[in-house]
Amino acid sequence: MLSPGVARIVAKLGGKYGVMLRASMKIARQICIFLADLFSRRRELLMAKAPTVDEREFLRLTRNYSEFRAKLTTLGLPAASQEVSENAQHVALCWLRLALEHRDDAQSALASNRDRAVYSRSYYAVYNASKSVRYVVTGAVSLIGDDHKKVSDLPDDFPDVAKWAETITKLKEHRLRADYDNWNTTTAELYLSSADAVALSEEFLREAAKYLESKYGIKL
């Protein structure tokens, strides 16, 4: 919509000049919107920054980084709040990169027919990707073994969330059997093939990476 002043000019010009001016104004608005979105996107993709302390100390001090940020904002410290957000994104990327390492190990194990290692590393790839997502969304995750109980507790807006919650549970079950069981029936009880386990972990990592980038601007 044109401002009153511009509208009066267009009315005076009339004819083809008025049409040209209207078209030019529309194009200019579209360019401004595009540039604003571009610069905003670029800023988001550059947000991750390592904290000045060890990542584990950052996690201990902030506990829930979302709540910690809110307190800083309430205290009138927006710059500090933003820095905590950048540090948290760095932490999330650490877990996501670890997930990629486990995925690579699973692929190597598959190539050398080490099925137990395949199931174990495939699960841990998914586990660390899940941890990265859950940390960003909720602000905190457990740093001890009980976090495995929440591995399938993905955010409601995660793509195909029900499917992935079930799939992750299956991969966890296979990891436990591969790591701890050596009974006569163990192999028969593994209903996912080792190739399936790797493929599922690869797919989940892609979905997790896309989710973090599209929703939170966190890019590998």
User: Which sequence spans correspond to the domains of the chain?
Assistant: 4-45, 55-216
Spatial separation of the C-alpha atoms in residues 168 and 181, rounded to whole Å: 19
Owner of token pair 């590393």: 121
**What mean pLDDT do residues 78-100 have?**
97
- pLDDT at residue number 38: 44
Q: Work out the average pLDDT over 82-97.
A: 97
User: Tokens representing 146?
Assistant: 């009980």
Write down the residue that tokens 């807006």 correspond to: 157
- The yes-or-no verdict on residue 93 having pLDDT over 70 is yes
**129 CB-contact burial (10 Å; exposed 0-12 / middle 13-18 / buried 19+):** buried
Share of the chain above pLDDT 90, in %: 78
- pLDDT recorded at residue 25: 64
* Superfamily classification of domain 55-216: Nucleotidyltransferases  domain 2 (1.20.120.330)
Contact assessment for residue 86 and residue 49, using Cβ atoms and an 8 Å cutoff: yes
**What pLDDT, in 10s, does the model give residues 152-166?**
999 999 999 999 999
pLDDT in tens, 186-212: 999 999 999 999 999 999 999 999 999
| Summary mean pLDDT of the chain | 89
What's the rounded mean pLDDT across residues 167-184?
Answer: 97
What tens digit of pLDDT does each residue of 16-73 get? Answer: 555 565 666 677 677 756 555 544 444 444 479 999 999 999 999 999 999 999 999 9
Q: Crossing angle for the helix pair 194-216 and 115-138, nearest 10 degrees?
A: 20
Section 149-154 average pLDDT: 98
Q: Distance between CA atoms of 52 and 74, rounded to whole angstroms?
A: 23
